[in-house]
């Protein structure tokens, strides 16, 4: 009996040892999991940086082409750049041909948006709180998009059809399209252009960068950025029809 009592404390060390082993295994698994997650996050962050840099570089290359070759006399045109293993499709729109969200009439804004639901939300965002109050004014396009309840795809469509910051709210008449490739004219200081750049990765992820830029003339800082917005869109294309087809410049597809 006495010998059994002396051996009992040693017998209780087995569960404690096993518990310690399982604890160490769980800790090791957690650490490995954290390392894997951290590695994935780091790779995703690095991928985002590459995509952003590629979109920015594509925009700069397209703007340099405008300085060198002149500006197409069209409401909008497209371009394409291949950088860092990614294809970038660009659409460039002089803002003078787009309705201004603060200055254009309600009828002009309605005519620019084809989707009835989005058009109604735009009208609601621009409606005054009271009949005697002025229409709301927005200092940034993203504020207008939020007021219209726009998600990323809706905001992308709104940016394609509308602009902000023009002195004259109503759009200028678009140049007559007398040729498949419109003529070009030298850039004029003060010209403001909405630039949209989009790329897709192998998984179909669509990243879009919008920049509104002003040409301030050669020498020093050539372009001044007034607006900058990143959007991540659904894999599927979103319909955002234009009033009329836009010409394609530089081999890129016509903007939808």
The CA angle 69-70-75, to the nearest 5 degrees, is 130
Least confident of 2-11, 16-25, 126-135: 2-11
| pLDDT over 90, % of the chain | 57
pLDDT at 3: 52
| Residue 119, number of CB atoms within 10 A of its CB | 16
pLDDT at 44: 52
Q: Is the pTM of this model over 0.85?
A: no
Provide the phi-psi class of 132: left if phi over 0, else alpha when psi is between -120 and 50, else beta: alpha
37: Cα within 13 Å, side-chain hemisphere: 6
CB-based contacts of 82: which residues, under 8 Å, 6+ apart? 88
Query: 183 or 235: which carries more pLDDT confidence?
Result: 183
Confidence of residue 238 (pLDDT cuts 50, 70, 90): confident
Consecutive H or E run containing 24: helix 13-69
Instruction: Dihedral sign for Cα 255, 122, 155, 102, please.
Output: positive
pLDDT at 240: 86
| Residue 122, number of CB atoms within 10 A of its CB | 27
Quote the radius of gyration of the chain (alpha carbons, Å).
Answer: 28
Least confident of 13-22, 215-224, 246-255: 246-255
* pLDDT over threshold 80, residue 234: yes
pLDDT at 256: 45
Query: 114 or 28: which carries more pLDDT confidence?
Result: 114
C-beta separation of 239 from 67 below 8 A: no
* pLDDT over threshold 90, residue 29: no
Across 55-66, average pLDDT = 95
Q: Name the nearest CA neighbour of 108 among 171, 193, 164.
A: 171
Q: What is the pLDDT of residues 86-108, one digit of tens each?
A: 999 999 999 999 999 999 999 99
* pLDDT over threshold 60, residue 245: no
* Distance between CA atoms of residues 122 and 147, nearest Å: 8
Output the CA–CA distances (angstroms, integers) from residue 206 to 88, 108, 153, 181, 238, in the order listed.
10, 30, 11, 28, 11
pLDDT at 100: 96
Dihedral, 96, 97, 100, 106 alpha carbons, nearest 10:
140
What mean pLDDT value characterizes the chain? 83
Across 203-227, average pLDDT = 89
| Matching residue, tokens 């939300």 | 121
Instruction: Give the three-class secondary structure for 206.
Output: strand
* pLDDT over threshold 50, residue 253: no
Across 33-59, average pLDDT = 72
* pLDDT over threshold 80, residue 78: yes
């Amino acid at each position: 009996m006495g010998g059994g009592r002396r051996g009992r404390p040693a017998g209780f060390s087995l569960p404690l040892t096993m518990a310690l082993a399982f604890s160490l295994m769980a800790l090791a698994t957690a650490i490995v999991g954290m390392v894997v997650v951290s590695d994935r996050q780091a790779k995703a962050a690095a991928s985002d940086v590459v995509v952003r840099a590629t979109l920015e570089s594509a925009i700069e290359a397209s703007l340099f082409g405008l300085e060198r070759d002149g500006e197409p006399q069209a409401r909008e045109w497209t371009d394409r750049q291949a950088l860092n293993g990614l294809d970038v499709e660009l659409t460039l729109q002089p803002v003078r041909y787009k309705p201004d969200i603060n200055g254009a009439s309600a009828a002009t804004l309605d005519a620019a948006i084809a989707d009835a639901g989005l058009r109604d939300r735009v009208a609601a965002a621009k409606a005054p709180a009271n009949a005697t109050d002025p229409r709301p004014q927005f200092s940034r396009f993203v504020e207008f998009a939020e007021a219209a309840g726009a998600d990323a795809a809706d905001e992308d469509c709104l940016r394609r059809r509308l602009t902000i910051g023009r002195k004259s709210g109503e759009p200028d008449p678009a140049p007559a399209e007398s040729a498949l490739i419109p003529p070009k004219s030298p850039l004029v200081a003060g010209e403001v252009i909405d630039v949209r750049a989009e790329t897709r990765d192998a998984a179909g992820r669509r990243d879009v960068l919008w920049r509104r830029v002003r040409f301030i003339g050669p020498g020093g800082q050539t372009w001044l950025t007034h607006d900058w917005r990143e959007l991540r869109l659904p894999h599927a294309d979103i319909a955002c029809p234009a009033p009329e087809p836009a010409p394609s410049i530089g081999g890129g597809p016509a903007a939808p």
